[in-house]
């Protein structure tokens, strides 16, 4: 057998050396991502039961004041109230049930499994970031329920080709070109420094950003990693400022990013500060305070009457302005409720309805899925000004 393989290899080399073209290989049966994912298994013909309420799962904290993810729950609550005011599902109210733990990989995953198998959730909204979406996706694959994530920007979450998963936020590879082009303009003939946390989502964002940097031949003078749980970020800020960059890119969860931005401002850094999607959150501006002024981040929502309606309801309840997290969760609840109405109480048909409802207009903007279930909505750029995120030209 070894001799046969060696002979074939030698023949191929001789043919190449002699200038003979090799015959083309067979065309692949299917290219990944070429066709929309669709569950084709059993269950689609099961009759819908009679229910007193329609349970929708929530894989995130059910706490409007949660320091990291409270905005998601605020948006979800406002959407739930709007859906039930509109009649729920054939007169039965929707109920949003949380399955969460601050240790999602331990207790949280067990609670999510029980929510689906025992409580009978017809679909789940979650997770609130890329890591928890990856986790919920594993349960969705086995338990077969539609999973709509309002918080993941990690493009690899959809690369498992799980037909049950839909991610409402545009992924990092749609943010990266906008951010890196702005970085190139801010840096000019100067230098760029990057500070990146070592958590899952920050790494995924950095991968997309570095790919775009390579295309524009933009090389950071310094790239420093840090633990997002580190209490004292002063030494890290000092090293960044000592590099004398024209711009600093901060890739980290909202509150650690805010702590680092505070330290950079305190040490006199006056250059441009940019960050990923987490720096567009209210959690960031609350923690950063005045230091957030001028920081640039992706703009993941679009001005529309639906956004104005959400903003009015949010202001009446919490005396503030909603952010992208609140808008994405608001849209996720309303979109899943619409899919339940369209597909009936059958998980496979609800998942099909989620895909068929596109294009769908929500408070954050248009929802239009690619073949893998990622939202293709364009991404803009915004700047924090007076505690509000204001759109700017890229």
CA distance 232 to 259: 9
Query: At CB < 8 A and 24+ separation, what contacts does 154-162 make?
Result: 154/130, 154/200, 154/201, 154/204, 154/205, 155/204, 155/208, 155/374, 156/130, 156/204, 157/130, 157/133, 158/372, 158/373, 158/374, 159/372, 161/32, 161/37, 161/372, 162/37, 162/137
Mapped onto helix, strand or coil, the DSSP state of residue 233 is coil
Whether residue 1 is predicted with pLDDT greater than 50 in this model: the reply is no
The predicted model gives 84-93 an average pLDDT of 97
Structure pTM?
0.89
- Mean pLDDT for all residues in the chain: 90
Residue 11 — pLDDT band, cuts 50, 70, 90?
A: very low
Question: Looking at residue 144, what DSSP letter applies?
Answer: T
Going by C-alpha positions, the residue among 162, 174, 59 that lies closest to residue 114 is: 59
Label residue 19 left, alpha or beta by phi (over 0 means left) and psi (-120 to 50 means alpha).
Answer: left
The residue to which tokens 């599902």 are assigned? 89
The phi and psi torsions of 133 (rounded to 5 degrees) equal -70, -40
The full set of domains in the chain, from first to last, is 54-170+303-378 (3.40.50.2300), 173-299 (3.40.50.2300)
The pLDDT tens digits for 130-145 are: 999 999 999 999 999 9
The pLDDT tens digits for 182-208 are: 999 999 989 999 999 999 999 999 999
Backbone CA torsion sign across 190, 297, 208, 376: negative
CA distance 257 to 167: 24
The pLDDT tens digits for 231-263 are: 999 999 999 999 999 999 999 999 999 999 999
């Amino acid at each position: 057998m070894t001799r046969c393989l060696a002979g074939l290899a030698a023949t191929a080399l001789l043919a190449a050396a002699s200038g003979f073209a090799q015959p083309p290989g067979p065309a692949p049966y299917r290219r990944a991502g070429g066709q929309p994912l669709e569950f084709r298994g059993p269950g689609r013909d099961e009759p819908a039961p009679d229910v007193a309420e329609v349970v929708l799962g929530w894989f995130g904290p059910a706490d409007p004041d949660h320091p990291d993810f409270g905005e998601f729950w605020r948006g979800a609550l406002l959407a739930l109230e709007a859906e039930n005011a509109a009649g729920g599902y054939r007169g039965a109210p929707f109920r949003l049930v949380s399955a969460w733990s601050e240790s999602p990989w331990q207790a949280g995953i067990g609670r999510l499994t029980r929510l689906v198998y025992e409580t009978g959730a017809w679909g789940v909204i979650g997770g609130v970031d890329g890591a928890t979406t990856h986790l919920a996706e594993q349960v969705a694959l086995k338990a077969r329920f539609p999973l709509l994530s309002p918080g993941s920007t990690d493009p690899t979450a959809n690369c498992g080709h799980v037909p049950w998963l839909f991610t409402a936020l545009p992924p990092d590879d749609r943010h990266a070109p906008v951010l890196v082009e702005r970085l190139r303009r801010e840096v000019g003939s100067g230098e760029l420094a990057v500070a990146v946390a070592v958590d899952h989502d920050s790494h995924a964002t950095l991968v997309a950003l570095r790919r775009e940097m390579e295309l524009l031949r933009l090389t950071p003078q310094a790239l420093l990693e840090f633990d997002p749980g580190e209490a004292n970020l002063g030494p890290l800020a000092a090293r960044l400022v000592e590099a004398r960059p024209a711009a600093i890119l901060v890739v980290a969860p909202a509150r650690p990013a805010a702590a680092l931005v505070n330290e950079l401002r305190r040490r006199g850094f006056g250059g441009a500060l940019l960050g990923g999607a987490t720096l567009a959150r209210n959690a960031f501006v609350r923690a950063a305070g005045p230091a957030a002024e001028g920081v640039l981040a992706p703009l993941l929502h679009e001005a529309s009457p639906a956004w104005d309606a959400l903003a009015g309801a949010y202001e009446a309840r919490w005396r503030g302005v909603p952010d992208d997290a609140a808008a994405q969760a608001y849209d996720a609840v309303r979109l899943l409720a619409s899919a339940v109405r369209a597909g009936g109480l059958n998980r496979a048909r609800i998942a099909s309805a989620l895909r068929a409802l596109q294009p769908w207009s929500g408070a954050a903007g248009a929802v239009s899925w690619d073949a893998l279930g990622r939202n293709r909505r364009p991404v803009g750029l915004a700047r924090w000004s007076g505690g509000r995120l204001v759109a700017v030209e890229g």
